[in-house]
């Protein structure tokens, strides 16, 4: 039984770089320890298993000692032992016996709450800046023998940052795996420290839209692994890179999985509405007020005309001025200390809006439009997509200023054509879901 169990576990763990088969030998006695380095406490292994083995005279005495420990678990079968290992246990192979000890690594001290992708329901913990801790957090949420960890060496010939590639070998497409391995091996940069730098280097075509997902949430990582995607983890950063990623991935939040079905669909719909408002509203306002005011009802047209009576600029300059002020406020809120950032930018925005309206530089309805755009832009869950749509907004605004609503329509058609031609490692960017069948099983 001992030999067959050993061979079974060795076969199942083959390919996982964080799997450890550790032999212990003294005189004519030899035992083996099998465990996951990312899940087990190395200090406990040394103190409770390795040191006592060399201090005790007989294997039988060592066996009685192990069974007396509080972390002792009864060995049931091969599959049970494998699952125990993936939950942070150590399998100790004695000559005639297999003993399971739960020596899970506790990582709470290094793990903080998510600060970028916050949710009301669901897990609140984020990744840390320690590679081993991050692998531990991921494996705690994805207990599968098909989860493979590959240490791809160090990247950046100056920074020399350790990189790990994770994927479910039973779900990932071989061509996707081969392509990402090739991209990693072709990296030739002096310093690479973050997932964002990997994103830039993996995207040879200078596209505005992200084709890889950056996240700090272990639950999002586990969910995407179950969809057949890969995850790249770097030492020294709490963010990982996930791919391939399609457009829908950037509009979905992990909270969608924790809410009732119709509430989740309603929230997704709200995000898409916010996406269209933040992208189209400034351009539509300029197009209608400058070229097609007859599209408004007479009362609304007169109200807008009255509010703009004292404004000395054409509508596109008015919109551009306020949008740029909003961008400056957003940047200021990021750079200022957290204690005063929100207060300073809120007060600054109120003072700026009130003063600009009273001075006649912008109309009162313009303040409403800019506020709606600012709020709508922040309903997009993933920052990289939010930044991309902020840039698209200015392109549509330019087209509206020279061609009115026709320019907006042409811009939207061009945007759709552009998105259709984007792919993420061979996956169409506008595909609704990356893996429909796998997603149905998960949801």
The answer on pLDDT for 114 being more than 90 is no
The answer on pLDDT for 289 being more than 80 is yes
Q: What is the mean pLDDT of the chain?
A: 84
Give dist(CA 427, CA 172) in Å, integer. Answer: 13
Rounded average pLDDT over 254-278: 90
Q: Which of 279-288, 347-356, 431-440 has the lowest mean pLDDT?
A: 431-440
pLDDT-derived band at 441, boundaries 50, 70, 90:
very low
Rounded average pLDDT over 110-131: 80
Who has greater pLDDT, 296 or 44? 44
pLDDT at 283: 92
Who has greater pLDDT, 106 or 243? 243
Q: Which of 113-122, 170-179, 410-419 has the lowest mean pLDDT?
A: 113-122
pLDDT-derived band at 433, boundaries 50, 70, 90:
low
pLDDT-derived band at 333, boundaries 50, 70, 90:
confident
Cis? peptide before 100, omega within 30° of 0: no
The answer on pLDDT for 241 being more than 90 is yes
pLDDT at 15: 75
Rounded average pLDDT over 317-322: 86
pLDDT at 55: 85
DSSP state of 373: H
Give 13-29 pLDDT, tens digit per residue.
887 888 888 998 887 78
**DSSP assignment of 306-331:** HHTTT--S-HHHHHHHHHHHHHHHHH
Rounded average pLDDT over 381-395: 90
Give 190-224 pLDDT, tens digit per residue.
888 888 888 888 886 677 899 899 999 999 999 99
pLDDT at 437: 46
Tokens 């190395």, located at residue: 42
DSSP state of 40: B
pLDDT at 439: 47
Give dist(CA 215, CA 223) in Å, integer. Answer: 12
List of residues 6+ apart from 271 with CB closer than 8 A: 251, 253, 379, 380, 381
CA angle 87, 128, 130 (to 5 degrees): 80
pLDDT at 435: 52
CA nearest neighbour of 103 among 21, 55, 42, 147: 42
List of residues 6+ apart from 195 with CB closer than 8 A: 214, 232, 234, 237, 239, 240, 241
pLDDT at 410: 93
Give the tokens for residue 263: 């509430």
List of residues 6+ apart from 294 with CB closer than 8 A: 301
**DSSP assignment of 231-286:** EEEETT-S-EEEES--GGGGG--THHHHS-HHHHHHHHHHHHHHHHHHHHHHHHHH
Cα distances (angstroms) measured from residue 63 to each of 3, 29, 350: 17, 13, 72
List of residues 6+ apart from 245 with CB closer than 8 A: 210, 211, 212, 213, 229, 424, 434
The answer on pLDDT for 341 being more than 70 is no
**DSSP assignment of 209-230:** S-SSEEE--HHHHHHHHTTT-E
Question: Which helix (DSSP H) or strand (DSSP E) does residue 63 occupy?
Answer: helix 59-67
Rounded average pLDDT over 130-152: 87
The answer on pLDDT for 243 being more than 70 is yes
Boundaries of every domain in the chain? 2-102, 110-244, 257-424
């Amino acid at each position: 039984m001992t030999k067959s169990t050993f061979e079974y576990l060795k076969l199942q763990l083959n390919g996982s770089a964080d799997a450890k088969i550790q032999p212990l030998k003294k005189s004519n006695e030899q035992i083996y320890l099998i465990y996951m380095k990312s899940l087990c406490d190395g200090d406990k292994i040394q103190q409770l298993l390795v040191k006592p083995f060399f201090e005790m005279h007989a294997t039988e005495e060592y066996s009685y000692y192990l069974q007396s420990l509080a972390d002792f678990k009864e060995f049931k079968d091969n599959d049970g032992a494998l699952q125990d290992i993936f939950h942070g246990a150590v399998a100790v192979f004695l000559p005639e016996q297999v003993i399971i000890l739960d020596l899970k690594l506790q990582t709470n001290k290094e793990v903080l709450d998510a600060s970028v992708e916050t949710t009301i329901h669901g897990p609140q913990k984020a990744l840390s800046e320690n590679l081993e801790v991050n692998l531990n957090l991921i494996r705690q949420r994805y207990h599968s023998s098909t989860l493979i960890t590959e240490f791809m060496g160090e990247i950046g010939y100056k920074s020399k940052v350790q990189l790990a590639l994770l994927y479910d070998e039973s779900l990932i497409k071989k061509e996707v795996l081969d392509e990402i391995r090739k991209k990693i091996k072709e990296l030739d940069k002096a310093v690479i420290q973050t997932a964002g730098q990997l994103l830039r280097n993996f995207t040879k075509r200078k596209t505005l839209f992200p084709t890889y997902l950056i996240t700090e949430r272990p639950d999002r990582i586990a969910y995407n692994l179950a969809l057949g995607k890969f995850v790249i983890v770097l030492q020294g950063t709490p963010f990982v890179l996930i791919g391939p990623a399609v457009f829908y991935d950037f509009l979905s939040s992990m909270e969608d999985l924790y809410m009732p079905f119709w509430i989740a669909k309603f929230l997704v719909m709200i995000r898409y509405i916010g996406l269209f408002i933040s992208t189209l509203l400034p351009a539509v306002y300029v197009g209608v007020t400058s070229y097609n005011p007859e599209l408004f009802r007479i009362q609304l047209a007169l109200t807008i005309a009255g509010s703009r009576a004292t404004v000395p600029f054409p509508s596109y300059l008015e919109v551009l001025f306020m949008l740029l002020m909003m961008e400056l406020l957003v940047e200021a809120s990021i750079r200022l200390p957290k204690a005063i950032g929100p207060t300073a930018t809120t007060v600054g925005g109120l003072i700026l809006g009130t003063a600009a309206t009273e001075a006649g530089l912008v109309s009162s309805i313009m303040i409403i439009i800019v506020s709606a755009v600012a709020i709508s832009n922040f309903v997009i869950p993933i920052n990289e997509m939010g930044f991309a749509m902020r840039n698209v907004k200015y392109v549509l605004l330019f087209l509206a200023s020279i061609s009115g609503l026709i320019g907006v329509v042409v811009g939207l058609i061009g945007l759709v054509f552009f998105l259709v031609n984007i792919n993420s490692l061979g996956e169409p960017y506008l595909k609704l879901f990356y893996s429909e069948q796998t997603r149905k099983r998960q949801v």
